Amino acid sequence: MPELPEVETIARELNGHVTGRRIEAIEIFRADALGRQAPADFCRALRGREIRHCSRRGKYLIFHLHPERYLVVHLRMTGKFAVTAPLEAPLRDHRLWFHLDDGRVLVFQDLRCFGTLDVVARLSDSPALSKLGMEPLSPQCTQSWLRRALAASRTPLKPWLMDQTKIAGLGNIYASEILYAAGLDPTQPANGLDGPSVARLHRATRRILRKAILKSGTTISDFRRVDQKTGEFQHFLRVYGKAGEPCPKCKTPIAAIRQQQRSTFYCPRCQR
């Protein structure tokens, strides 16, 4: 489900709901998300700790706990968090309940059971986080960084943008939208971009992500915010999911192709 803007939205909203709350107990209804961590160890590592705040790195959500521990969560396709009053019984997609010290419950839901939750003592202990590349909205993500990074690879642009070890946080929706906004062919090799193209890609990446965060992300089927509201960026999508519809700029039908087993949407006329 969620890419950078959706995870950023969830982190911000969780801050309003769970900051300062202590985790009093944990109930696990289905342990897939814990990977090789034993449920008892997982609970023991979290119980009694206070949630100081939530942040995001790439598509990972990070709960900063006190005394120091970190809960590193990846929502994959269908993971969600909700904060609710106590329930009698878990709903079908409820995987874990974190009982908080104000009586409410932080619920982790995940229909497809792809999501992951890991507890680490230090952020540098997380193998997942250590593999991530540049944060696209950070000050370090400059045009010259992007130029050098692109020059090192002949991978087609769209798969390049989705490679989390290069830039962290872009998925299938935003990669397509960014390339449309930049007017770039998703199939062209990363190292084939000239200076002006790199500049357009850099600007489009930051502009699209900032706007998507402003709109609280994209809800296509099941993304929900912590309060169950939908994101609103889907109203601003130009190409994603719009195969056959006219390009907003030139009216050429939007094309759909497969790249690395994922759909790519683009305008064959505007993107070269």
Nearer Cβ to DNA (100/149): 149
How many angstroms separate the CA atoms of 156 and 175, rounded?
Answer: 12
Residue 190 CB, nearest approach to DNA (Å): 7
Q: Which residues pair with 119 in a beta bridge?
A: 71
- Rounded to the nearest whole angstrom, what is the least distance from the CB of residue 140 to DNA in the complex? 20
CB 4, min distance to DNA, A: 9
In three-state form (DSSP H/G/I as H, E/B as E, the rest C), the secondary structure along the chain is CCCHHHHHHHHHHHHHHHCCCEEEEEEECCCHHHCCCCHHHHHHHHCCCEEEEEEEECCEEEEEEECCEEEEEECCCCEEEEEECCCCCCCCCEEEEEEECCCCEEEEEECCCCCEEEEECCHHHCHHHHCCCECCCCCCCCHHHHHHHHHCCCCEHHHHHHCCCCECCCCHHHHHHHHHHHCCCCCCEHHHCCHHHHHHHHHHHHHHHHHHHHCCCCCCCCCCCCCCCCCCHHHHCCCCCCCCCECCCCCCECEEEEECCEEEEECCCCCC
Closer to DNA at the Cβ: 32 or 102?
Answer: 32
The residue (of 19 and 234) whose beta carbon lies closer to DNA is 234
Name the residue nearer to DNA (CB basis): 141 or 220. 220
User: Which residue in this structure is represented by tokens 């997609």?
Assistant: 93
Burial category of 271 from C-beta neighbours within 10 Å (exposed 0-12, middle 13-18, buried 19 and up): buried
Residue 82 CB, shortest distance to DNA, in Å, is 15
* In the complex, least distance from residue 94 CB atom to DNA, rounded to whole angstroms: 12
Interface residues with DNA (CB under 7 A) are 1-3, 6, 32, 58-59, 74, 76-77, 92, 111-114, 128, 131, 153-156, 159, 162, 164, 171-173, 217-223, 231, 259-263
> Measured from the CB of residue 25, what is the shortest distance to DNA in angstroms?
25
Name the residue nearer to DNA (CB basis): 99 or 166.
166
Active site residues per annotation:
2-3, 59, 262
Q: How far is CA 121 from the centre of its chain?
A: 23
Residue with Cβ nearer DNA (84 or 263): 263
